[in-house]
Amino acid sequence: MTLGARVLLAPMEGLLDHTLRDMLTRVGGVDLCVSEFIRVTNTVLPRRAFIRVAPELLNQSRTVAGVPVRVQLLGSDPDYLAANAAALAQLGPAGIDLNFGCPAKTVNQHRGGAVLLDEPELVGQIVAAVRRAVPAHIPVSAKMRLGYNDDSRAEACALAIEAAGASDLVVHARTKAHGYRPPAYWDRIADLRQHVRMPMVANGEIWTLSDALRCREVTGCERLMIGRGMVADPGLALAIAQHDARSSGAVPSAVSWRQIVGLMRLFWQGIALRVAPRHRAGRLKQWLNYLRRVYPEAQEAFDQLRLLHDPSKIDQWLAVQAVE
């Protein structure tokens, strides 16, 4: 990751997929994305498995707006992860990321994600195996939480990841046990930075420009990864970028509801290509549910769509919004 990559769009399984990445990066301010995880077990996945999760691989590993996308792998077997990383590398990803943070029970039960943080030695073996398997010009990064049930091994995991040759490390400032409940323990990221030299990215509970600035101050990390905060406020990364670039005291401009409606229409068209009709309405409502945090209009839209499931009815609703 270059020093210019100051705002990263987080991977979020079941929410922040290719279509939503496309929408959010069109707004501006995002420097790098990470895909949702691709689960690796005891086989080498076919080309289509990587492209299904990260179709940006067909566009030089970039979103429509030109933002690079790293592809994330999840698993516990160093050899199979290395073999899959080598296969993925042939598709020219902007980087390969390793997931040591997923808190999902089913994933953890199968020795994936955050549960591996109880085994710092294995974490290091995974990173080292993948780094060896991938050409030097492709970055290999990692994303971790502070731990599984507690944060007592956080330093050991970060040191193992660094020693194994990772290019950079994203730290979600909560343990698996914390889930997504506030607060995020940003001070522990500052602690980790005292032990490792590799570039570090702070993640967790960044919903506003004020949060972003406080997170930087507490953690010492200039670079931030944002997930739910960007879904709720698509203009957040742009606001951060404008804050960083401005020389006057001007307030960063907000993204208007009309712009959001335009993005929703594009989003709806995108999911129509990839999602079964019975699930499409749910995906739009899922995004609106987050948008309600920032946009009063989203609450009204959510109420209007709450009981609608027929895609044709939502087509009609979106058509009306476009002309209002």
Token pair, residue 30, equals: 């995002």
What one-character-per-residue DSSP string does 81-147 give? HHHHHHHHHTT--S-EEEEE----HHHHHTT-GGGGGG-HHHHHHHHHHHHHHS-TTS-EEEEEEEE
Instruction: Please give the DSSP secondary-structure letter assigned to residue 152.
Output: T
d(Cα 57, Cα 70) in Å, to the nearest integer? 9
Q: Evaluate the omega torsion of the peptide bond into residue 68 and state whether it is cis, within 30 degrees of 0.
A: no
Give the CA count within 13 Å in the CB-facing half-sphere of 127: 31
Q: Three-state DSSP class for 236?
A: helix
CA dihedral 129, 130, 136, 137 (to 10 degrees): -170
d(Cα 271, Cα 307) in Å, to the nearest integer? 19
Token pair, residue 247, equals: 């020389």
DSSP H stretches of helix in 166-248? 186-193, 209-219, 228-232, 236-245
**Contact (CB, 8 A) for 268 and 289:** no
3 closest CA partner among 278, 221, 186:
221
Instruction: Please give the DSSP secondary-structure letter assigned to residue 11.
Output: P
**Contact (CB, 8 A) for 5 and 49:** no
112 closest CA partner among 161, 39, 13:
39
Is position 102 annotated as part of the catalytic site? yes
What one-character-per-residue DSSP string does 239-298 give? HHHHHHH-SS-PPPPPPPHHHHHHHHHHHHHHHHHHS-HHHHHHHHHHHHHHHTTT-HHH
Which listed residue (33, 102, 215, 221) is catalytic?
102
Q: Which residues are part of the catalytic machinery? A: 102
